[in-house]
Amino acid sequence: MTNTTAVSIRRSVAATINGKEAIVPEGSTILEACRNIGTEIPTLCYLENLTPVNTCRVCMVELEGSRTLVPACSRKVEQGMVIETESDRVHKSRKMILELLASSVDLSIVSTELNRYMEKYQVDRERFGPLAPPSEQGQRENTKAGHHHTSNGAFASTVAVPTKIDNEQYIRDYSRCVLCYKCVEACGTDAQNTFAIAVAGRGFEAHISTEFDVALPESACVYCGNCVAVCPTGALMPKTEYELRQSNQWDESRQSVTRTICPYCGVGCNLEIHVQDNKIVKVTSPIDHDVTSGMLCVKGRFGFEFING
């Protein structure tokens, strides 16, 4: 057998986006191509360090020759594609997707980018009627697949449920859950490999759950908080942040962020220490840090109480 050295060279592919040519390495997504040429596409379930699941459908764009719109976050660029990101079809879809989301989920803590889009499209939360009151504990979770109670249409159904507070590290407020699957991915093979949570149930009643909805201390959860780090809507939140928000004291304008290295072990994870009123209120890791890609363990993320105390 002869020894050969394989040299991998990524070919380039060219597409036309809003009339402009975009040349990207083969395998790039439409979203990456758009960002390369400075074209903005709103996203919600997308995150650079996770496998795209394209469930939110906020990033849909028009692809010439395709019957439906296509998700920019996961569709790979092919040579000669002609893409429109600001057509009437795209705008109508975006607006309605945001309205479907806003009418069913509490979006009060989302990115400024998404808020800007909701303003731009004049998203009306109550377009489908007054919002239904929160369901009781366990009601949504225990709805059997294919057996929901038929609505009389007087209220727009929402995913609102009581907040789950069952441990000292973080809370789960599934009223804010858009079912982006990011937490499941972070808990699973994309980062932590703990598999404490999964999507359960079906349809509008689909929700993130441990097995049989057991409390986190009874589950496989190791409190790394990587699910919290990737949550785009505040459905998962450090308990420190939650408590400050509940008492109206959470104020990002009064916070400073200091970058440092985790003191616990020798891996060298970078930390961002969020401090408000001289107290640590949250710890995160930069998503572009090559050691962590934004992920941490329980000590790095939650082991700061001794400093505050």
Partner 1 sequence: MDLKTSGKPASIAEIEAIDAVIGNLSHRDDGALNGKPHLNGIGYISPSNSGGHRELLLPALHSIQQKIGWISHGALDYLSSQLGVPPAEAYGVASFYALFSLEEASQTIIHVCDDIGCRAAQGDDPADQISKRYGESGVIKDGWSWSRSPCLGRCEEGSAALIQHSGENHRTVLISPFNSGMLDSISEQSSDIWVSSESAKVPQIDNARSELKLLRRIGSVDPLSLDSYRSHGGYSALRRALELGPEGTLAEIKDSKLMGRGGAAFPTATKWEAVAKNPVRPHYFVCNADESEPGTFKDRIVMEQDPYSVIEGLTIAGLTTGCAKGYIYIRGEYPLAEERLQNAIANATRKGFLGSNILEKGFNFEIEIRRGAGAYIAGEETALFNSIEGKRAEPRNKPPFPAQAGLFRKPTGVNNVETLLNVLEILTVGGLEFAKTGTESSTGTRLFCLSGAVTKPGLYEAPFGIKLGDIISLAGGIKKGKSIKAILLGGAAGSFVGKDQLDIPLSFEGVRSAGATLGSGVVMVFDQDTDFEQVLLRIAKFFREESCGQCVPCRVGTARQEELLARLANKSVYKSKQQELELLSEVGMVMRESSICGLGQTASNAIESAFKLGLV
Token pair 């962590």: residue: 292
Residue 128 in contact with partner 1, rule: CB under 8 A: yes
Residue of the chain from 2, 3, 122, 150 that contacts partner 1 (CB under 8 A): 150
Q: Which region, left, alpha or beta, applies to residue 10 given φ > 0 means left and ψ of -120 to 50 means alpha?
A: beta
Q: Is the dihedral of CA 176, 100, 226, 195 positive or negative?
A: positive
Strand partners, 15: 22
Residue 212 in contact with partner 1, rule: CB under 8 A: yes
Residue 284 in contact with partner 1, rule: CB under 8 A: no
- Tokens found for residue 102: 């806003």
Cβ proximity to partner 1: between 57 and 164 the closer is: 57
Question: CA distances (Å), 60 to each of 63, 70, 100, 126, 191, in order?
Answer: 9, 5, 15, 23, 26
Cβ proximity to partner 1: between 152 and 278 the closer is: 152
Residue of the chain from 206, 273, 287, 298 that contacts partner 1 (CB under 8 A): 206
Residue of the chain from 47, 196, 230, 269 that contacts partner 1 (CB under 8 A): 196
- Tokens found for residue 229: 């780090």
Q: Which region, left, alpha or beta, applies to residue 284 given φ > 0 means left and ψ of -120 to 50 means alpha?
A: beta
Residue 154 in contact with partner 1, rule: CB under 8 A: yes
First to last CA, the chain: 65
Residue of the chain from 145, 257, 267, 291 that contacts partner 1 (CB under 8 A): 145
C-alpha span between 287 and 294 (Å, rounded) = 4
Residue 72 in contact with partner 1, rule: CB under 8 A: no
**Selected range binding partner 1 among 26-34, 110-118, 147-155, 240-248, rule: CB under 8 A:** 147-155
Residue 179 in contact with partner 1, rule: CB under 8 A: yes
Could you say which residues in the range 214-243 bind partner 1, by CB under 8 A? 214, 218-220
Are 44 and 89 a contacting pair, CB within 8 Å? no
Residue of the chain from 211, 251, 277, 305 that contacts partner 1 (CB under 8 A): 211
Are 29 and 77 a contacting pair, CB within 8 Å? yes
C-alpha span between 244 and 247 (Å, rounded) = 5
Residue 50 in contact with partner 1, rule: CB under 8 A: no
Q: Report the nearest approach of partner 1 to the CB of residue 204 (Å).
A: 4
Residue of the chain from 28, 43, 54, 135 that contacts partner 1 (CB under 8 A): 54
Helices in the chain by DSSP H: which ranges?
30-36, 88-104, 112-120, 182-187, 226-230, 239-246, 298-302, 305-308
Cβ proximity to partner 1: between 10 and 92 the closer is: 92
Total residues in contact with partner 1, by rule CB under 8 A:
60
Residue 56 in contact with partner 1, rule: CB under 8 A: yes
Are 81 and 15 a contacting pair, CB within 8 Å? yes
Cβ proximity to partner 1: between 7 and 154 the closer is: 154
Residue 277 in contact with partner 1, rule: CB under 8 A: no
**Selected range binding partner 1 among 13-21, 67-75, 223-231, 261-269, rule: CB under 8 A:** 67-75
DSSP 142: T
Residue 193 in contact with partner 1, rule: CB under 8 A: yes
Binding positions for partner 1, rule: CB under 8 A: 54-58, 60, 68-69, 71, 74, 76, 89, 92-93, 96-97, 100-101, 103-104, 127-129, 142, 144-148, 150-157, 178-179, 193, 195-206, 209-212, 214, 218-220
